[in-house]
Structure 1
Amino acid sequence: MKSIVSLLFILTFSLGFAQDKKETTKTQIVEASCGQCQFGMKSKSGCDLAVRMDGKSYFVEGTDINKHGDAHAEDGFCSAIRQAEVVGEVKDNKFVVSHFKLLPQKK
């Protein structure tokens, strides 16, 4: 009986974890900007890089808002929503990036 309960617990935990993790091993184009200034995210203060995929916004781990130019410039993340090429996964409601390339703006 203990082994059945243990097995059910492990399966339930595993399924819950799998739903929280959205893995993307392929390159995709997403919207990138300041989560607070452009995407209206409130869970952090200040200015932090975020991406929006499938209508949902995630703060980014693995790169920083200041590594991609002046965030407060006219075309910076706090002033504009940009396109970025990314590879990564959603983990614990954050986008953990292994590749982030800001794309040139279309004129």
Structure 2
Amino acid sequence: MKNLFFAMFISVFAFAANAQTAQKKASTNKVITKQVVDIACGECQFKMKGKDCELAIKIDGKPYFVDGKNIDDFGDAHGEHGFCNAVSKAEVTGEIVNNRFKASAITLLPVKK
């Protein structure tokens, strides 16, 4: 009987812990509006793990891969000043969802000399 009670207690505890975790994950979305960020290739410049050269931004020091824009949308990523060879600045608007940035607007800023 003790074993049955213990098993039920563990099951209820595990269910409650899982429900709390699911709620936290759902609330991790964050809207970003016209924020200036670093933008570059996630793999080449931000040392992120990925399958290929992919556009990424850093918000408050944390890198996110970008959805909605391609790395070559802004020129040759492997060119002299491309995203695989240099970090640039951009003004971005979008939302962080599931640890990825869903871009609605990205505007590259002029390079300061």
TM-score range, shorter chain: 0.7 to 0.9
Q: What amino acid is aligned across from residue 77 of structure 1 in structure 2? A: F
Query: Of the candidates 7, 22, 26, which is equivalent to residue 17 of structure 1?
Result: 26
Q: What amino acid is aligned across from residue 106 of structure 1 in structure 2? A: K
Q: Report the 3-state secondary structure (helix = DSSP H, G, I; strand = E; otherwise coil) of the residue aligned with 1:63.
A: coil
Q: Structure 1: 5+ residue runs without aligned partners?
A: 1-7
Q: Report the 3-state secondary structure (helix = DSSP H, G, I; strand = E; otherwise coil) of the residue aligned with 2:26.
A: helix
Off by >2 Å, runs of 4+ in structure 1: 11-16
* Aligned-residue RMSD, C-alpha: 1.6
Q: What amino acid is aligned across from residue 22 of structure 1 in structure 2? A: K
Measured in 2, the distance between the counterparts of 1:102 and 1:76 equals 12
Q: What amino acid is aligned across from residue 41 of structure 1 in structure 2? A: M
Q: Which residue of 2 aligns with 1:41?
A: 48
TM-score, scaled to structure 1: 0.82
Once the two structures are superposed, residues 41-99 of structure 1 have per-residue CA deviations (whole angstroms, 9 ceiling, x without a partner) of: 01x12100000011100000010001000101111100000001100111011000100
The offset of 1:15, in angstroms, is 3.8
Q: What amino acid is aligned across from residue 29 of structure 1 in structure 2? A: V
Q: Structure 2: 5+ residue runs without aligned partners?
A: 1-15
The offset of 1:14, in angstroms, is 3.5
Identity of aligned residues (%): 45
TM-score, scaled to structure 2: 0.78
2:71 aligned with 1:65? yes
Highest Rg: 1 or 2? 2
Q: What amino acid is aligned across from residue 17 of structure 1 in structure 2? A: A
Measured in 2, the distance between the counterparts of 1:73 and 1:48 equals 15
Measured in 1, the distance between the counterparts of 2:45 and 2:25 equals 30
Measured in 2, the distance between the counterparts of 1:51 and 1:36 equals 11
Q: Report the 3-state secondary structure (helix = DSSP H, G, I; strand = E; otherwise coil) of the residue aligned with 2:74.
A: coil
Structure with greater proportional helix content: 2
